[in-house]
Amino acid sequence: MRNVYFNHDGNVDDLVSLLLLLQMPDVNLLGVGVTDADGYVEPSVSASRKIVDLFGHEGRQPRDIAKSNSRAAHQFPKEWRLSSFSFDDFPILNEHGEPKTPVAAKPGHLDMVDKIKSADDSVTLVMTGPLSDLARALDEEPSIVEKIESVHWMGGALNSKGNVAEPGADDTMEWNAYWDAEAVKKVWDSDLKIVMVGLDSTDQVPLTAELRQRWAKQRQHPALDLIGQGYSLVHSFEANSTYYLWDVLTTLASAYPELVESVQVKTDVVTTGASEGRTYQTDEGREITFVTSVNAEAFYDKIDELAKLGDSN
C-alpha cells in the first residue's frame, strides 16, 4: 500500500483526480490539501469532503480535508474558478446532507507536514495546483524531504507554449507555476525527486465531444456520472483553445507510470520579469523526470476502470 498526500486547487480536473485516487486499491490517501487557486477554496474543500464521503473506501481514505491559506502572486481568472461552486452543488454530492468528513484543524502546509511526519513509510506527493503549500512545508520542517518518495506535479512547460495570457506576461509559462513562481523555485532547489507533467504531455489528452459521450453512455456507474457532470461545466470558448485533462494525467501517471514516457532533463525556473514562472531546460539546472508523451487510449481506459470501482460504495 503506497502512502499518498494529494494537494490540489479545486477545479473540475482536481476533483476528478481526488475521486480516482480514492479508487486506487493500492493507495492509502493520507491527506488532502486544497489551495485557493484554479477553484475557490471554500466550495472546493466542501466538494472534496463530499467526494470522500461518497466514494472513499474505509481504511485507505483521508480522515479530513485541509484548507490552505497560501496566497497567489498572480491569481487565476475568476471565470475559470467559478465551476468549483457548481461542482459542489451537484445533487449526487448533496443528497445525503451535510458532509461528514471534517475540515483539518491546521492549514494545508502544516497538515502536509504532520501527515508526512506521522506516516509509517515514505510518502508520494501528488500536486495538481501551485507548489506553495509544499514550499511552505519545507520552510516549516525541512526534514520531511527524507520521507518524501517523489513529487508528481502538474505544472510548467518545456517545449510547448505557455497558457498564461495576462498583461505583463510573455506567455512562456504555465498557470500553476505563474501563480507562485517563488514556490516552484523553492521546490526546485530542494533535494526532492520531481516528476513534472507539463503542458507538453497534457496537451495529448484533450477533452473531446467523443469523450463526453463516452462517459454519458456509462451513467449507470455513479463515479462516471459525476465525472461526466463535472466536465460538462468546462468549455473553452477562446479562439484555438482546448480543455485538457491536465490534473488527471498527473494523478494517473503517479500510480501507473506505464501510461507515459519520460526523460531525465535539467531544468530551472524564472522567478521575475515577463517570464515569471517559466520552466526551461538548461545544463546548469537541476535534474527532474519530465513526462514527454502519453498512451491516450490506455489513459482513458484507466479512468473508466478506476471509476467503476466506485460502484462498491
Q: Write out pLDDT tens, residues 286-312.
A: 999 999 999 999 999 999 999 999 997
Mean pLDDT over 32-51 rounds to: 98
- The confidence score (pLDDT) of residue 270 equals 97
User: Residue 134 pLDDT more than 60?
Assistant: yes
- The confidence score (pLDDT) of residue 17 equals 98
Query: Are 200 and 159 in contact, with CB atoms under 8 Å apart?
Result: yes
- What gap in Å lies between CA 44 and CA 85, rounded to an integer? 7
- The confidence score (pLDDT) of residue 235 equals 78
Q: Write out pLDDT tens, residues 190-223.
A: 999 999 999 999 999 999 999 999 999 999 999 9
User: Residue 91 pLDDT more than 50?
Assistant: yes
User: Residue 264 pLDDT more than 90?
Assistant: yes
Helix or strand run (H / E) with residue 81: helix 78-81
**Mean pLDDT, rounded, of the chain:** 96
- What gap in Å lies between CA 284 and CA 265, rounded to an integer? 11
By residue count, the chain amounts to: 313
3-state secondary structure of 272: coil
Each domain of the chain, given as residue ranges in start order, spans 2-312
Q: Where are the alpha helices (DSSP H) in 10-57?
A: 12-23, 41-55
Residue 90 — pLDDT band, cuts 50, 70, 90?
A: very high
Lowest mean pLDDT across 89-93, 135-139, 162-166, 173-177? 162-166
Degrees (nearest 5) of the Cα angle 157, 34, 117? 95
User: Residue 237 pLDDT more than 60?
Assistant: no
Degrees (nearest 5) of the Cα angle 121, 21, 30? 35
- The confidence score (pLDDT) of residue 236 equals 61
- The confidence score (pLDDT) of residue 191 equals 97
Output b/e per residue, 167-203; b: 16+ Cβ within 10 A: eebeebbbbbbbbbbbbbbbbbebebbbbbbbbbbbb
Cβ atoms within 10 Å of 255's Cβ, excluding its own: 19
- The confidence score (pLDDT) of residue 238 equals 46
Looking only at the bridges linking them, the beta strands covering 279-281 and 260-269 are antiparallel
Q: Which CATH architecture has domain 2-312?
A: Alpha-Beta Complex (3.90)
> Which burial class, exposed, middle or buried, applies to 105 when counting CB atoms under 10 A from its CB (0-12, 13-18, 19+)?
exposed
- The confidence score (pLDDT) of residue 241 equals 63
Mean pLDDT over 114-132 rounds to: 97
Query: Are 19 and 48 in contact, with CB atoms under 8 Å apart?
Result: no
User: Residue 240 pLDDT more than 60?
Assistant: no
User: Residue 239 pLDDT more than 90?
Assistant: no
Q: Decide which of 74 and 242 is more confident.
A: 74
In single-letter form, the type of residue at position 201 comes to: S
Residue (of 106, 154, 108, 110) closest to 130 by Cα position: 154
Lowest mean pLDDT across 29-38, 236-245, 299-308? 236-245
Cβ atoms within 10 Å of 12's Cβ, excluding its own: 26
Query: Are 62 and 100 in contact, with CB atoms under 8 Å apart?
Result: no
Mean pLDDT over 36-62 rounds to: 97
User: Residue 136 pLDDT more than 70?
Assistant: yes
Mean pLDDT over 60-77 rounds to: 97
Mean pLDDT over 43-57 rounds to: 98
Mean pLDDT over 255-270 rounds to: 98
- What gap in Å lies between CA 259 and CA 120, rounded to an integer? 28
